[in-house]
Amino acid sequence: MVKIAVYGKGGIGKSTTVSNLSAALAERGLRVMQIGCDPKADSTVTLHSGRKLRTVLDLVREKGNGFSVHDMTAIGYRGIVCVEAGGPSPGTGCAGRGIIAALEKLKEKGAYETYNPDVVFYDVLGDVVCGGFTMPMRNGYADQVFIVTSGESMALHAASNIAQAVWNFRGRGYAKLGGLILNCRKVEREDEKVKELADDIHTAIVGSLDFSKTVQKAEALGKTVLETFPESQMAGEYRRLAENVMRACGGELPC
């Protein structure tokens, strides 16, 4: 099982990237699980034609422990197993602690054993790297962390903070930094800025995604680019990125 955490600041296109990576790997015949670790609970919407899922924390609030692993999961595009951790009611709790509770509940209910995925993606908000939001980096969860960034200042700042969090966990058997994913926004010197960051944090850029209206059109339909425009240039870029990510993790894709 390859376990991957993808981080990035809010609005950077992280969930779009993860969902299209999930679709690209499922297209190659792999069993994929995608776990949204953002209180907005919108990581998997394009894998369900725009429909939001009931979150793990919603189930805990409504039923205590009286629910099954199948209540926590939904099967999306090409059989992708989808989970949304969710968050606390506004003003009533810590979103980071909510992620901890949701991931612990997934383990307790045997989600990984039930579905036996080849690849697990944790889609994690990266504006604030507090204890709860670093949960997917910890031992037993993700093996590799990839950071989605652009050349925008706030995205680069968030990426640097996330890399520092990974570095702070070194020596504990936690996830390692797999690399950066450049999601282009057409800012000045974008490639150079992201390359400078990669050099500063001693990692590589594993892939680059063009700024494209194809992505916006697919999302307006509530679907991934792979599902809506499978022959497009962007679909090809997501497929190449999926190959690069798996290669960086030491995994092999079926022919």
Q: With the CA atoms of 226, 12, 4 and 250 taken in that order, what torsion angle do they form, in degrees rounded to the nearest 10?
A: 70
Could you tell me if 136 and 37 are in contact, meaning their C-beta atoms sit under 8 angstroms apart? yes
The residues near 108 (Cβ < 8 Å, ≥ 6 apart) are none
The mean predicted confidence, pLDDT, of the chain is: 91
Look up residue 224 and give its DSSP letter: -
- pLDDT at res. 170: 78
The residues near 131 (Cβ < 8 Å, ≥ 6 apart) are 96, 100
CA distance 33 to 21: 11
- Provide the CATH number for the domain formed by 2-248 in this structure: 3.40.50.300
DSSP, collapsed to helix, strand or coil, labels residue 138 as coil
Percent share of the chain, pLDDT over 90? 72
pLDDT value at 238 more than 80: yes
CA distance 9 to 152: 11
Note the pLDDT tens digit of each residue in 156-209.
999 999 999 889 887 777 899 999 999 999 999 999 999 999 999 999 999 999
- What pTM, to 2 d.p., does this model score? 0.94
**C-alpha dihedral sign at 165, 170, 172, 174:** positive
Please provide the distance, in angstroms rounded to a whole number, between the alpha carbons at the two ends of the chain.
18
Q: Just list the catalytic residues.
A: 9, 14, 40, 127
**C-alpha dihedral sign at 199, 203, 204, 208:** negative
CA distance 127 to 139: 22
DSSP, collapsed to helix, strand or coil, labels residue 239 as helix
User: Could you tell me the pLDDT band of residue 95, with boundaries at 50, 70 and 90?
Assistant: low
CA distance 142 to 163: 15
Could you tell me if 129 and 161 are in contact, meaning their C-beta atoms sit under 8 angstroms apart? yes
Note the pLDDT tens digit of each residue in 96-114.
667 888 888 999 999 999 9
The residue ranges of every structural domain in the chain are 2-248
User: Could you tell me the pLDDT band of residue 239, with boundaries at 50, 70 and 90?
Assistant: very high
CA distance 255 to 243: 11
